[in-house]
């Protein structure tokens, strides 16, 4: 799987620009605020249908432009494919693969990426939302159905949150509360089932990477945690649904009192342990980075096992944050696929990897 060429029209700070990528490592370099991460974000969009730094497509449209367009030529599943994404304010984005209209969720069947950015270095120490995002993004790429259920869940969550917040002023809102709670419990059950199974795979793949990475000395463990009444998150969706309902009934009054959703998959976490202790409380800076990296490389392995092809690895500004030994580990481990690395200075990465260098300045790309 690889991207050969991209054209950006009115996307972020790119007015009208094209770039050709090499099949191996591509080092995207240049001073701050020139468009390196924007270029990576455009490639990410081709696989995920959305940016990784914003919830709103309109922010991706260049200042003063009425639309943003990304065009790309890629090689995946043994053939050349073309992807086009067009974003216009106030209209749903248009996505085409080889000239045929597609949904954002369908892009993952064409192109897969694994992104590793500075935020991911906080994967271990930050709150659960970062780890849920990791699960959500990773599972959406291999299970498009998951992305649909997640979108539905988020919609229900927002609606139910509004009811719980406003019911005192408008008691009639309570008429639909139980209906929303039930729909949310159903969607939660599906999400929990998917997340439990992915967390198990991630644990199995990340532990050996981490063991090797840390010099055989350390044991990494990932454990999925969800609604407390769910006895077995690996059970059938129906059983999980009954367990979530049990929690829901017990907390109905508490939800009304607190004015917030207290039951559902929106509080899930992936508990990360190093040598049997919670990494969030005990891991050192170095252990935290090693664990975050191992998890990302494990995500890449799972995608490879699922699709039979190496996903495109997007490393945004992380190499400079890692010491030389960790850098070497990443660079050795990523062989066999295409990688796009951004950094302020090339730091010899292109020499060490034999990769192509793209220099970015003021939204212009020079190879």
**Binding site residues, ligand ATP, CB under 6 A:** 12-13, 32-38, 59, 61-63, 317, 342, 344
Q: Considering the complex, state which of residue 62 and residue 311 has its C-beta at the smaller distance from ligand ATP.
A: 62
Q: How many CB atoms lie within 10 A of CB 249?
A: 13
Bridging pattern class, strands 339-343 and 312-316: parallel
Site for Mg ion in 193-232 (CB under 5 A): none
CA distances from 91 to 3, 87, 144 (A): 27, 8, 23
CB 44 → ligand ATP: shortest distance, Å?
Answer: 12
Q: Out of ligand ATP, Mg ion, none, which partner does residue 34 contact, by CB within 5 to 8 A per kind?
A: ligand ATP
CB 350 → Mg ion: shortest distance, Å?
Answer: 18
CB 131 → ligand ATP: shortest distance, Å?
Answer: 24
117 contacts 281 by C-beta, under 8 angstroms = no
Q: H or E element: which one contains 107?
A: none
| Those residues with Cβ within 8 angstroms of residue 154's Cβ, 6 or more apart along the chain or in another chain | none
Alpha-carbon span 317 to 115, nearest angstrom? 11
Q: Considering the complex, state which of residue 227 and residue 319 has its C-beta at the smaller distance from ligand ATP.
A: 319
Q: Considering the complex, state which of residue 37 and residue 353 has its C-beta at the smaller distance from ligand ATP.
A: 37
Q: Considering the complex, state which of residue 67 and residue 256 has its C-beta at the smaller distance from ligand ATP.
A: 67
CB 3 → Mg ion: shortest distance, Å?
Answer: 19
DSSP-derived 3-state class of residue 279: helix
Q: Considering the complex, state which of residue 13 and residue 353 has its C-beta at the smaller distance from ligand ATP.
A: 13
DSSP-derived 3-state class of residue 19: strand
CB 344 → ligand ATP: shortest distance, Å?
Answer: 5
244 closest CA partner among 186, 304, 312:
186
The DSSP call for residue 139 is H
Q: Considering the complex, state which of residue 34 and residue 287 has its C-beta at the smaller distance from ligand ATP.
A: 34
277 contacts 296 by C-beta, under 8 angstroms = no
Interacting span for Mg ion (CB under 5 A) from 16-24, 29-37, 159-167, 327-335: 29-37
CB 28 → Mg ion: shortest distance, Å?
Answer: 9
Q: Considering the complex, state which of residue 35 and residue 337 has its C-beta at the smaller distance from ligand ATP.
A: 35
CB 297 → ligand ATP: shortest distance, Å?
Answer: 23
Alpha-carbon span 366 to 124, nearest angstrom? 37
188 contacts 128 by C-beta, under 8 angstroms = no
Tell me the per-residue interface mask from 30 to 69 with Mg ion, x by CB under 5 A, - otherwise: ------xx--------------------------------
Distance of CA 293 to the CA centre of its chain: 14
Q: Considering the complex, state which of residue 108 and residue 342 has its C-beta at the smaller distance from ligand ATP.
A: 342
CB 26 → ligand ATP: shortest distance, Å?
Answer: 15
Q: Out of Mg ion, ligand ATP, none, which partner does residue 38 contact, by CB within 5 to 8 A per kind?
A: ligand ATP
Burial 108-135 (b: 16+ CB within 10 A, else e): bbbbbbbbbbebbbebbeeeeebbbebb
Q: Out of Mg ion, ligand ATP, none, which partner does residue 33 contact, by CB within 5 to 8 A per kind?
A: ligand ATP
| Those residues with Cβ within 8 angstroms of residue 34's Cβ, 6 or more apart along the chain or in another chain | 13, 360, 361, 362, 363
Q: Out of ligand ATP, Mg ion, none, which partner does residue 13 contact, by CB within 5 to 8 A per kind?
A: ligand ATP
| Those residues with Cβ within 8 angstroms of residue 177's Cβ, 6 or more apart along the chain or in another chain | 160, 163, 164, 167
Q: Out of ligand ATP, Mg ion, none, which partner does residue 305 contact, by CB within 5 to 8 A per kind?
A: none
Q: Out of Mg ion, ligand ATP, none, which partner does residue 307 contact, by CB within 5 to 8 A per kind?
A: none
Tokens of 267: 């509080």
Residue linked to tokens 């006895």: 231
Question: Could you list the residues that contact Mg ion (CB under 5 A)?
Answer: 36-37
């Amino acid at each position: 799987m690889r991207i050969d060429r991209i054209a950006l029209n009115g996307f972020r700070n790119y007015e009208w620009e094209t770039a050709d990528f090499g099949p191996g490592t591509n080092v995207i370099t240049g001073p701050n605020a020139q468009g390196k991460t924007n270029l990576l974000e455009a490639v990410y969009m081709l696989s995920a249908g959305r940016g990784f730094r914003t919830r709103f497509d309109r922010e991706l449209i260049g200042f003063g432009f009425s639309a943003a367009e990304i065009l790309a030529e890629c090689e995946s599943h043994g053939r050349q494919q073309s992807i086009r994404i067009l974003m216009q304010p106030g209209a749903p984005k248009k996505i085409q693969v080889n000239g045929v209209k597609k949904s954002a969720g369908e892009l993952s069947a064409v192109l897969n990426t694994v992104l590793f950015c500075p935020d991911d270095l906080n994967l271990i120490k930050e709150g659960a939302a970062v780890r849920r995002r990791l699960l959500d993004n990773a599972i959406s790429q291999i299970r498009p159905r998951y992305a649909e259920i997640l979108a539905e869940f988020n919609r229900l969550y927002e609606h139910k949150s509004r009811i719980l917040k406003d019911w005192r002023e408008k008691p009639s809102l309570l008429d639909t509360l139980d209906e929303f709670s039930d729909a949310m419990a159903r969607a939660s059950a599906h999400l929990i089932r998917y997340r439990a199974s992915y967390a198990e795979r991630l644990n199995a793949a990340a532990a050996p990477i981490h063991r090797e990475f840390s010099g055989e000395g350390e044991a990494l463990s990932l454990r999925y945690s969800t609604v407390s009444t769910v006895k077995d998150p690996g059970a059938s969706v129906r059983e999980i649904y009954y367990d979530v309902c049990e929690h829901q009934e017990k907390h109905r009054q508490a939800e009304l009192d607190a004015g917030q959703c207290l039951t559902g998959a929106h509080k899930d976490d992936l508990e990360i342990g190093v040598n049997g202790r919670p990494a969030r409380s005990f891991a050192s800076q170095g252990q935290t980075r090693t664990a975050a990296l191992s998890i990302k490389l494990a995500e890449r392995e799972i995608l490879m096992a699922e699709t039979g092809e190496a996903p495109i690895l997007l490393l945004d500004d992380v190499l400079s944050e890692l010491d030389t030994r960790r850098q070497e580990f990443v660079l050795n481990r990523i062989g066999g696929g295409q990688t796009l690395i951004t950094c302020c200075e090339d730091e010899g990465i292109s020499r060490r990897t034999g990769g192509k260098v793209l220099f970015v300045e003021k939204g212009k790309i020079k190879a």
